[in-house]
Amino acid sequence: MRISYFHSSESVPAVRGPAEGGPDAAVVIDVLRATTTIAWSLQNGAEAIEAFAGLAELEAAAAAWPAELRLRAGERGGQRVDGYDLGNSPLAVTPELVGGKRIFLSTTNGTRSLAAVREVPLLLTA
């Protein structure tokens, strides 16, 4: 078994799936907040969360979803992205706000790491 670890999203290489020589599994541990916000959103009734490395990709995907069924959540450098519905706080994703909605999320580190390993068949977060 080979284990690799990376301390920040900038150091995570783009990873291919096992058929292309990549790993069978990956674990993204984001101690700041992205993975906690994702888990808490699902716990509080969000329909799904889509994670994006960049804001342009987030905007394109969110625009294709019905406005009344989506929330844009974004954080850069610890601050909410101007004009977005949410930042990156687990406390903000209340059942009343996120219930039944799809959240389109991009953060400084966590979602960038998730994007780098999206081809891995087993992806765990912590």
Is residue 105 a contact partner of residue 98, using CB atoms and an 8 Å limit? no
Give mean pLDDT, residues 79-105. Answer: 96
Nearest to 106 by CA among 64, 60, 44: 60
Nearest to 65 by CA among 53, 78, 54, 49: 49
Percent of the chain exceeding pLDDT 90 equals 56
Alpha-carbon distance of 42 to 93, in angstroms, equals 9
Encode pLDDT of 31-79 as tens digits.
Answer: 778 989 999 999 999 999 999 999 999 999 999 999 999 999 999 988 9
